[in-house]
Amino acid sequence: MEQLRPVFAGRKVMLTGGPLAALTGTCRRMRELGAERPFLLATGVGTGEVPGADEAEWCVVELRAPDVLAEIRAAMKLLRLLPAEVADALDRWDPERRALVLSPMFNELPEIAGRRVYGPRRPEWRRLEDKVVVDQLWDDLGVTRAPSAVVTAEPEALRAAAGRLDRGAGTAWAGDARQGFNGGAQLLRWVRGEEDAAEAARFLAERCDRARVMPFLEGIPCSIHGMVFPDGVAAFRPVEMVTLRQPGSSRLRYAGAATFWDPPTADREVMRDLARRVGDGLRERVGYRGAFTVDGVLTADGFLPTELNPRLGAGLSVMTRDLPELPVPLLDRALIEGEALAYRAGDLERQVLEIADRSRAGGAWTVTRRGPEATGANEEVAVVFEDGACRVAGDGRPPDGTLTFGPSGVGGFVRLRLDPERVAAGPPVAPLAVAAFALADERFGTGIGPLEPARPVR
């Protein structure tokens, strides 16, 4: 906090890139660091607590999109060309245009509305997020990976590659970044038969030039996070990526991150060593600074990577939730900016590992097409898990977590928060997410539908 205070103290700061509720924490952090009352440009109200009028000034531009990727891209388009009423409100708040802008982690614009963006993303970093190019990086760095083939996104080439690579569980087809970055399993299909192949080929051909085909990897979807400093790499603990299966569909549903799951110790250390190797490689090849994640699956053969996200990942925010004096997202931006900080990779690694291993966090979340009936309404219930089911807490039993339903730019937003005092460390939380989302369908009418968790094989 003290290292970052000189950057923001006495400054006007504009925050943007998400719904109002998602900006609340950073807004309050800015005031703690001595910034003036911030200006928030929000893309909706969102689910959760919003700042008070005394804490910030804001404009809400309601964005609606069919999915999360489209919502993010709409937000980026908004920043490129602000509505006149937003630009006027900004100029009234900051007539000299001296404010710093904290923008979404996907933003590459150096300025927004004539104001300097703090720590924008570099294009050469973003390009490494493309699923059809990352395997070359794994090979260059000597990283063990599953076999794959990058082919044109047309039916014959895709089917031929799948026939060569299928090990019995089907294949995973991942599209390129022709339309911009993608994630959250939006351009991923699990192909197990002709019907899956026909749907996946049509879907990818409309959006991509090329696709990567690889064997479907059975096991726990997970990631390892790191942060690149000028003189080292902080490597953290594995994080479960709650990625759920939809019976009768080739689609997978990414549903958040949690740190309750513990892989075998040997696998954990392999993943942390991998993070250090990748972080060093990114620094040497593209001058990388800041946070990144290597996502993959803990298979029967160990951890195999499937993608690189050279940006801040959700899991790092989850594992540092109980470190209020360690503002990791702001540290990430300061590293990208090249700030001279008297704080090293080893300092961060020790602090994060100590708290993340002792205090587990996270749960699951997902967006839904159906939103709350009342605009801006948030519904929340305490829940318990019993015999594989999730039900509303009662009979004096302490709750195992909370289930919340509120609005999002897609429609609705469902969040399961698990209580680390009630949920055991060790097993994955995906089965709890499946049970909780079933309750959300029953109680809130969210329309998520039946889901299945991944199966541990290690």
With bands split at pLDDT 50, 70 and 90, how would you rate the model's confidence at 254? very high
Domain range 218-358, CATH class: alpha beta
Helix (H) or strand (E) holding 315: helix 314-319
What is the mean pLDDT of the segment spanning 200-204?
A: 97
Is the pLDDT at 64 greater than 90? The verdict is no
Band (376; pLDDT cuts 50, 70, 90): low
Share of the chain above pLDDT 90, in %: 84
pLDDT of residue 248: 93
Residue 48 — pLDDT band, cuts 50, 70, 90? confident
Q: How confident is the model at residue 308 (pLDDT cuts 50, 70, 90)?
A: very high
- How much is the average pLDDT of 112-118? 96
Residue ranges of alpha helices (H) inside 53-171 are 68-80, 84-93, 123-126, 134-140, 155-165
- What pLDDT score does 283 carry? 97
- Write out 246-287 in H/E/C secondary structure: CCCCCCEEEEEEECCECCCHHHHHHHHHHHHHHHHHHHHHHC
Angle between helix 20-32 and 328-337 (nearest 10): 70
User: For residues 294 and 342, which has the higher predicted lDDT (pLDDT)?
Assistant: 294
Count of beta carbons in the 10 Å neighbourhood of residue 450: 14
- What's the mean pLDDT in 287-303? 97
CATH architecture, domain defined by 147-215: 2-Layer Sandwich (3.30)
Mean pLDDT for the stretch of residues 331-354: 93
User: Mean pLDDT score of the chain, rounded to an integer?
Assistant: 94
Strands (E), 179-269: 188-191, 210-215, 220-229, 232-245, 252-258
What CATH code is assigned to 5-120? 3.40.50
Cβ-count burial 154-170 (b if 16+ within 10 Å, e if not):
eeebbbebbeebbeeeb
Q: Taking residues 288-299, what's their average pLDDT?
A: 98
Task: Compute φ and ψ for 141, nearest 5 degrees.
Answer: -90, 0
Contact predicate 169/216, CB 8 Å: yes
Tell me the CA end-to-end span of the chain in Å, nearest whole number: 40
Which residue, 356, 360, 354, 430, is CA-closest to 390?
Answer: 430
Look at residue 238 and tell me whether its pLDDT is greater than 70: yes
Cα separation, 280 vs 232, whole angstroms: 7
Mean pLDDT (whole number) for 88-111? 95
Mean pLDDT of 413-439: 97
Percent of the chain residues past pLDDT 70, beyond the cut: 99
pTM of the model: 0.93
Q: CA 437, CA 318: separation in Å to the nearest integer?
A: 20
Sketch the domain layout of the chain as residue ranges: 5-120, 147-215, 218-358, 363-444
What pLDDT score does 321 carry? Answer: 85
- Cβ distance 8 to 33 under 8 Å? yes
Which of 63-67, 108-112, 169-173, 259-263 has the lowest average pLDDT?
Answer: 63-67
Token reading at 416: 């399961």
Confidence of residue 375 (pLDDT cuts 50, 70, 90): low
Average pLDDT (173-179) is 93
* Residue that wins the pLDDT comparison between 346 and 323: 346
* Per-residue confidence band for 374, with pLDDT thresholds at 50, 70 and 90: low
CA atoms within 13 A on the CB side of 182: 20
For the range 272-275, what are the long-range contacts, defined as Cβ-Cβ under 8 Å and sequence gap of 24 or more?
272/224, 272/235, 272/236, 272/237, 273/235, 274/143, 274/224, 274/303, 274/305, 275/224, 275/225, 275/226, 275/233, 275/235, 275/236
- Per DSSP bridges, beta strands 39-42 and 13-18 are parallel
CA distance 446 to 116: 40
Tell me whether domains 147-215 and 218-358 share a fold.
no
Tokens describing residue 125: 């970093």
Which pLDDT does position 419 carry in this prediction?
97
User: What is the Cα–Cα distance from 270 to 298, expressed in whole angstroms?
Assistant: 11
pLDDT tier, 452 (very low <50, low <70, confident <90, very high otherwise): very high
* DSSP reduced 3-state for 212: strand
Closest among 352, 361, 366 to 429, alpha carbons compared: 361
